[in-house]
Amino acid sequence: MAIKVSSLAKEMFEASRTVLEDSWPEIKDYAKAEFKKIAESMAMIARLRAAGKLTQKKARLHLEIQKNASRMVLLTVEGLGIIAVERAINAALGAVRDTVNTAVGFRLV
Amino acid sequence: MRASGGFAAKMGSALRLTVVATALIGLGCQVKLVADYDEITDRSVTALQREFERFFVEVERKIGTPEADHANYVDFYDGVRAELGVIRVRAAARPKNEITIRQLDLLAENVDNLEALHELGFDDPEELEPLRSAFQQSFQAILTLELAKKRGQ
């Protein structure tokens, strides 16, 4: 039984799309929550500076700390995205395995 | 002759089947783009986070007194840098762990920034709030990714 490429590709696409659609809301919620906290911290630093409680040098160091924290959050978002892609690829490969096993007529894989 | 021709044909078929099977078994293997979860990293980062929480609680209580001065916390900074170094070496020994390594490097930079701030002196408890928040978020970022590496394990 020949493998129909277009059907196989569609199966793979649908399997991976479901995984990505499921993963995105969680990643989005995490990113939104974390950036809200960082924005609040930056507002506080600005307020402390305006109130004369932070020198320019201190304010710069505070800002560097917040920037690095933001970078760490973004790296987590990147990592979560890559894991989601990984799951999507494996889901798509899973779809291929079933189709291939059917095509060869026995459980080859 | 017939026997050797038959044998050659069977060998050819077996070879083709092996190649196809290997390719398909390759397809059957799970793709991994990110390192696996590491419990030791999880525990070590959590322990480090605990030390930073204690640090902020202590400094907040002592602020405005000489006890809050940087000179009393040199051991703290040396200690956390050493622990971070150990965690980083372990992270770097694992393949496909580049994101976590970069996070640990950023955390190390922030330890330097925090110490630089401390050397200038903490005068107001309000100043500690954004710092504590930034470090909490940093640890949470590292741990969120580490836990995600479990992938339903």
pLDDT for the residue B25: 45
Provide the domain limits for residue A68.
5-98
A81 lies in some domain: yes
**Closest chain A CA to residue B36:** A83
pLDDT for the residue B10: 52
DSSP B17-38: HHHHHHHHHHHHSPP--SPPP-
CA-CA distances (angstroms) from residue A92 to A9, A14, A34, A98, B80?
Answer: 9, 8, 31, 10, 43
Bigger pLDDT: B104 vs A107: B104
**Closest chain B CA to residue A98:** B28
Q: Which of A29, A72, A106 to mutate to test the interface with B (most CBs of B within 10 A)?
A: A72
DSSP chain A: ----HHHHHHHHHHHHHHHHHHHHHHHHHHHHHHHHHHHHHHHHHHHHHHTT-S-HHHHHHHHHHHHHHHHHHHHHHHHHHHHHHHHHHHHHHHHHHHHHHHHHTS---
Bigger pLDDT: B91 vs A102: B91
Nearest to A61 among B34, B117, B133 (CB): B117
Residues of B in contact with A62 (CB under 8 A): 117, 127, 130-131
Range with lowest mean pLDDT among A27-31, B12-16, B53-57, B61-65: B12-16
pTM for the model: 0.83
Mean pLDDT of B43-67: 97
**Mean per-residue pLDDT over chain B, rounded:** 87
Q: Whose CA is closest to A40, among B8, B137, B100, B152? A: B137
Domain count, chain A: 1
pLDDT for the residue B5: 56
Report ipTM (2 d.p.).
Answer: 0.84
A107 lies in some domain: no
Residues of A in contact with B145 (CB under 8 A): 75-76, 79-80
pLDDT along chain A (109 residues), means of 10: 75 84 88 88 89 93 95 94 91 80 72
Residues of B in contact with A37 (CB under 8 A): 133, 137
